[in-house]
């Protein structure tokens, strides 16, 4: 006995926002859209959940499965069949870049990914699909850098998103990024500096764990401390490449992108959300449960409604947590 | 400027060979088939490469990509556009089981996966697609347990496969399996025995590295030393679960499935192959380069033509090696 | 043919400075003293090198050897026989505490270890042995926390020490300590808080790597941010034990003990040294080579003479570096 | 209030058995002997426990301590003061070799360490100290390779040893050694072969974990499969250095030194022991608890009295287990 299956359609999007981006990343992108079972037969309108993938990922990877863990489309089908989720459209954008990601924000060193998402993709999906095109029926969800993106865009765009889910999102930069400054410094120095290191990284078929850690720091610099006058990758590192000494000015620019820094300013947006759900593993390799706790503590102090869960796992392979979050999200967004 | 794209079609196959298998795994399976660009417009017939996935995998996962590493379909498209590969059909079967895999052989404890592949899937693809339905145009390729499957089936079925590629395949069981007996014993004992351990494993959303190592040993026992009289998973372990003492009788049953044991018997089949290509990483975590060297040494002694390469990497994330193997394979199979 | 051997004598010292220390650590300590070959037969006076052991260590452990790596006494004998070192007395104090160490400073939470060293042990050795009792003939050397101790005491006591050697010393606290805040927080919380965690740690016969990391952070808090009003271990942690949020006031207290913060104030002392030698491994697990580079950079800017070497190794088992440093130190201190 | 302290004296022993050994290791060795408190004042005779150190160790290292773990002399003092142990003499021989150890057996590739121990050291200690010079008052104890030595010598020399303690001893070679064949092969090949690898190893000040694993395999080959016709280190490896293929003839020579192989032959000796105590950690990195279980199972089958304990730890830093074993041993050996 088969369960009803939704459909995944792929929209090829030509982006004005990304056109001419400084690093020369593609401005034509595939947007994958999951339509719930019965979409084609009916005329109903649906809420939309924007699903943001993590660092080094893009929307398409959310569809990957393994025999023990369904992709996001199959997961939705199963949760719908179980009645644990209400029908929604899922939109899976591609915001990958030459440094592994964009953090879903605008940066002159990387590209205008916030604009791409908010001004281009959201209207496009509302135009092409039968969506409930209002913030109370539009949510954003993601994990890791995608959880960061969900949090940032949920805070900045209450006119767009009425619910947000942040799984193991980048928070408390002091912990989650700083611990990789040393390893990144060593890798980049060993590679002869930023640009040569990046060139070697790109040319190598195997991307090793230590390289991804270094790339992550570079990507964050490109996102949070861009410097268009600098050579590629057009950013200032928050530390001296010889001594490791923290460049406090650059670091301050990073901290201004820490959701913990932004929470007070955007308290009004957060208060409007129908759902503000965060979770994190208690053994998160980047200690993101600490950032989540800090954030949640501030939410409590500000009297902002939210839900928070911790679970007994780390940072990787935790898409099973979407069983919880998609359920909450679909209920929050339902008509 | 886009490159021409092939198509992936999915055949839902109802298997007689797998029906009623002892562990109750599904006998309806998805077979994914890659058709090269231009397939629909033309009337040409194509060689077929049967692509066998590794342990815990199934055909669909070969289509997964990440931004730095294309899935097998996109890889073919790119290699074709470059002229490095000649057009072929790729068939991606699903031989996953409740213990993580089947090794692509028949086992009463697991199912008749060899029969499924050879007697059901190969004819089905030849019937439904415009293939060159002859061994000289049919190849088999895989990595790890898939490389093992390619080697075994290539040896056992010269009437089916005329070329074979084995990437980092299970060989020299003494090294690749025995080192996990200790860890497996500890995990299974801590889990209360085989069946309880398996139940807990299945129920856990997170499959940890150590658990996969234990599962691997169980799956090999189900494949190489089945015991239908035993309780699920219907097999004899090659060691005593309390003392670790090797059960030499069971171990001998395993060794009879080591390609190193079979090479002499199947020398005739191997000699007929248009391509016999093996490779392995010099840092393979299972020391499979040693098995490959042993096998290649015996091929040399037997005067069996072959090609062998070692590369500077480990066992994981080495699909880039298919740039080399698909190229060789397509030339070997081409009309 | 045997080489001449020095003698190690043990002085049992009753310390006024340590008597009544808050945690109740012993105030009677063994001081091991290496006397060079020929000491007993002659009447010569010798320079003294004060050798400070690392975290969790005490003087006696510097005498440990293994077949490939001599203890400090045998090392001296061998270097003397080779002519690579000039005769010196070595003094090996015990500044171990209930939290694993004292950093060789005064702290109300730990004890007056600076006073113990400077006011008690130095005069005692000068009284009991034929030393050249003047700063130009007295040096201080150590590794890791011992390197820190050497640096701190060398800066603070130019009237005592005329030469200093810092192997892989604690520097740039931002890197070397902060990375362990997350792991320490998790360990301490899992242990039920500071005091229960410490009790469990002490009771456990096996001190695991992760426990030592947590203990290290506690010891640094006891050294740098003591709080005698708090329950044992009488200190303020630089982070919130639930959220990990940095307590900037406490952290500032720590930074005031970072030699990088102190270097300007003590530039005059450092300039007087006959030898200021630092080295560090380029793969130091605590990234101490970065602290060393920062420190050395500031020395250069201040025009303070010094020597600096980096070597291709990590933090552990690097006593072979004393072949270099004892040689330099003995020449600097020789009459 | 101080507890009574024993004395450690060092005997310099010139060995006939070791003189002219093939690798040219020293035949003059230090034997450290612990004499219990009151030895000098009285005229009592004492039992003797021969304490065999592990691979890469020698007797002197058993005296090493750290603040949380006393050396063997201080441990004895404390246990005596507590009444948990009865007075004994401890003898700590040095059987270190150019390949890291001797397994305490005779091998033409290494030297006659069994003869050295049994024919030279035991009589020497009985001659120079007030021992109870009879097997019922003489025991042997060790850990790891020292535990192996204790087991082997206890089996082979019932006329010498009346009690034996084996902590985490080398047993079930299939598990404890074979798993390092792959890593050893890679290391030795990368080093250009056996002799060049050894030369580089010796010249390097840092002995890394992976190097010790390779050295261990070489040392076992020198002990179990010597070949005096081969170049240094004068042994046959149990695997082909290119393919890893097991050389079954060599491997059989190894197995003949596995206590599991010898237990039947020496059942008579074992049955005579006043104490046969084994223990092992359940997380032993070499899976030695499996060997211990196999051995103990065979003891049970043969009706040989013994005691066995498992504890919740690994292979390293478990000298605290001697609190248990020294207590048992001293009672077994007491008059």
Q: Region C307-330: what's the mean pLDDT? A: 98
Across the interface, of D182, D294, D297, the residue whose CB is closest to B287 is D182
Across the interface, of B58, B69, B320, the residue whose CB is closest to A67 is B58
Q: Which residues of A touch B58 (CB under 8 A)?
A: 67
Q: Do B317 and A207 touch (CB under 8 A)?
A: yes
Q: pLDDT tens digit string along D244-303?
A: 999 999 999 999 999 999 999 999 999 999 999 999 999 999 999 999 999 999 999 999
8-47 in chain A: CB under 8 A from chain B: none
Ramachandran class of D287: left when φ > 0, alpha when ψ lies in -120 to 50, beta otherwise = left
Q: Can you give the pLDDT at residue C1?
A: 61
Asked whether the bond before C233 is cis by omega within 30 degrees of 0, the reply is: yes
| Nearest residue of B to residue D282, measured between CA atoms | B186
- Residue D308 confidence (pLDDT) above 90: yes
Nearest-Cα distance to chain C for D61, in Å, is 7
Q: Do D320 and C205 touch (CB under 8 A)?
A: yes
Q: Which residues of A touch C244 (CB under 8 A)?
A: 172, 175, 287, 290-291, 293-294
Q: Do C56 and D64 touch (CB under 8 A)?
A: no
Q: Do D297 and B174 touch (CB under 8 A)?
A: no
For residue C13, the Cα-to-chain-centroid distance in whole angstroms is 19
Q: Which residues of D touch B190 (CB under 8 A)?
A: none
Across the interface, of C66, C100, C320, the residue whose CB is closest to D56 is C66
Q: Can you give the pLDDT at residue B1?
A: 61
Compute how many other C-beta atoms are within 10 angstroms of the C-beta atom of residue D80: 22
Of residues D113, D133, D136, the one with CA closest to residue D123: D133
With an 8 Å Cβ cutoff, is C293 touching chain A?
yes
Q: pLDDT tens digit string along B11-27?
A: 999 999 999 999 999 99
Give how far Cα A105 sits from Cα of A54, C243, D120, Å: 14, 26, 78
Q: Can you give the pLDDT at residue D137?
A: 98
Nearest-Cα distance to chain D for B177, in Å, is 10
Nearest-Cα distance to chain A for B221, in Å, is 20
- Residue D1 confidence (pLDDT) above 80: no
Q: Which residues of A touch B66 (CB under 8 A)?
A: 56-57, 61
Q: Do A205 and B69 touch (CB under 8 A)?
A: yes
Q: Can you give the pLDDT at residue A1?
A: 61
| pLDDT < 50 stretches in chain A | none
Q: Which residues of D touch C61 (CB under 8 A)?
A: 64-66
Coil, strand or helix at A239: strand
- Residue D32 confidence (pLDDT) above 90: yes
108-167 in chain B: CB under 8 A from chain D: none
Q: pLDDT tens digit string along B14-64?
A: 999 999 999 999 999 999 999 999 999 999 999 999 999 999 999 999 999
Q: Do B242 and D185 touch (CB under 8 A)?
A: no
With an 8 Å Cβ cutoff, is C172 touching chain A?
yes
Q: Which residues of D touch C206 (CB under 8 A)?
A: 313, 317-318, 320
The overall longest dimension of chain C from CA atoms, in Å, is 63
Task: Round to whole Å and give the CA distance between A244 and A222.
Answer: 18
Chain A and chain B share a number of CB contacts under 8 A equal to 46
Task: Round to whole Å and give the CA distance between C272 and C332.
Answer: 12
Q: Which residues of B touch A96 (CB under 8 A)?
A: 67
Q: Do D179 and B174 touch (CB under 8 A)?
A: no
- Residue D2 confidence (pLDDT) above 90: no
Buried b (16+ CB within 10 A) or exposed e, B124-133: bbbeebebbb
Q: Which residues of B touch D287 (CB under 8 A)?
A: 182, 244
- Residue B277 confidence (pLDDT) above 70: yes
Q: Do A290 and C244 touch (CB under 8 A)?
A: yes
With an 8 Å Cβ cutoff, is C247 touching chain A?
no
DSSP state string for B103-156: TTSEETTTEEHHHIIIIIIHHHHHHHS-B--SGGGEEEEEETHHHHHHHHHHHH
Task: Round to whole Å and give the CA distance between A115 and A104.
Answer: 9
Structure tokens at B48: 């077929």
Q: State the pairing for strand pair D138-143/D163-167.
A: parallel
Residues 6+ positions from B122 with CB-CB distance below 8 Å: B50, B138, B160
Task: Round to whole Å and give the CA distance between D248 and D251.
Answer: 5
Nearest-Cα distance to chain B for D173, in Å, is 11
Task: Round to whole Å and give the CA distance between D179 and D284.
Answer: 13
Q: Do D317 and C65 touch (CB under 8 A)?
A: no
With an 8 Å Cβ cutoff, is B179 touching chain D?
yes
Q: Do D61 and C65 touch (CB under 8 A)?
A: yes
Across the interface, of C172, C185, C186, the residue whose CB is closest to A244 is C172
Nearest-Cα distance to chain C for D57, in Å, is 7
C2 band by pLDDT with thresholds 50, 70 and 90? confident
Phi, psi of D296 (to 5 degrees): -65, -40
Which residue in D67, D96, D210, D281 has the most chain C C-beta atoms within 10 A of its own C-beta, making it the best mutation to test that interface?
A: D67
Structure tokens at B103: 């090794």
* Cα angle, residue C209 at apex, residues C206 and C214 outer, rounded to 5°: 100
Q: Can you give the pLDDT at residue C328?
A: 98
Across the interface, of A175, A182, A297, the residue whose CB is closest to C182 is A175
Which residue in A205, A279, A314, A318 has the most chain B C-beta atoms within 10 A of its own C-beta, making it the best mutation to test that interface?
A: A205
pTM confidence score: 0.97
Q: What is the mean pLDDT of chain B?
A: 98
Q: Rg of chain B over CA atoms, in angstroms?
A: 19
* DSSP tag of C4: P
* DSSP tag of C2: P
Residue C232 buriedness (CB in 10 A; 0-12 / 13-18 / 19+): middle
Of residues A169, A167, A37, A31, the one with CA closest to residue A103: A169
Q: Can you give the pLDDT at residue C9?
A: 98
- Residue B176 confidence (pLDDT) above 70: yes
- Residue C334 confidence (pLDDT) above 80: yes
B2 band by pLDDT with thresholds 50, 70 and 90? confident
DSSP state string for D215-269: HHHHHHHHHHSB-TTSSTTTB--SB-TTT--B-HHHHHHHHTTSHHHHTTTTHHH
With an 8 Å Cβ cutoff, is C297 touching chain A?
yes
């Amino acid at each position: 006995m088969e369960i009803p299956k939704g459909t995944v359609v792929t929209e090829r999007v030509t982006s004005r926002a990304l056109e001419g981006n400084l690093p020369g990343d593609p401005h034509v992108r595939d947007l994958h859209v999951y339509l719930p079972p019965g979409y084609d037969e009916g005329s109903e309108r649906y809420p939309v959940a924007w699903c943001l993938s993590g660092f080094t990922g893009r929307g398409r990877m959310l569809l990957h499965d393994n025999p023990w863990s369904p992709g996001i489309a199959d997961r939705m089908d199963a949760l719908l069949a179980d009645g644990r989720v209400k029908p929604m459209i899922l939109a899976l954008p591609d915001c990958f870049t030459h440094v592994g990601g964009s953090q879903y924000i605008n940066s002159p060193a990387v590209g205008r990914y916030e604009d791409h998402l908010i001004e281009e993709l959201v209207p496009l999906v509302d135009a092409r699909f039968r969506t409930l095109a209002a913030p109370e029926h539009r949510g954003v969800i993601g994990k890791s850098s995608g959880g960061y993106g969900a949090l940032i865009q949920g805070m900045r765009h209450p006119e767009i998103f009425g619910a947000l889910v942040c799984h193991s999102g980048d928070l408390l930069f002091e912990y989650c990024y700083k611990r990789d400054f040393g390893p990144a410094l060593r890798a980049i120095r060993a590679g002869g500096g930023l640009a040569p290191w990046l060139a070697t990284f790109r040319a190598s078929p195997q991307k090793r764990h230590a390289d991804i850690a270094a790339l992550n720091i570079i990507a964050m610099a490109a996102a949070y401390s861009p410097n268009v006058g600098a050579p590629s990758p057009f950013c200032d590192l928050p530390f001296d490449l010889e001594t490791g000494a923290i460049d406090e000015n650059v670091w301050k620019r990073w901290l201004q992108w820490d959701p913990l820094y932004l929470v007070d300013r955007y308290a009004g947006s957060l208060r409007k959300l129908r759902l503000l759900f965060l979770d994190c593993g208690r053994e998160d390799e980047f200690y993101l449960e600490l950032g989540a706790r800090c954030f949640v503590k501030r939410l409590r102090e500000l009297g902002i409604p939210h839900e928070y869960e911790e679970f007994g796992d780390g940072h990787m392979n935790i898409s099973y947590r979407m069983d919880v979050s998609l359920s909450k999200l679909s209920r929050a967004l339902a008509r």
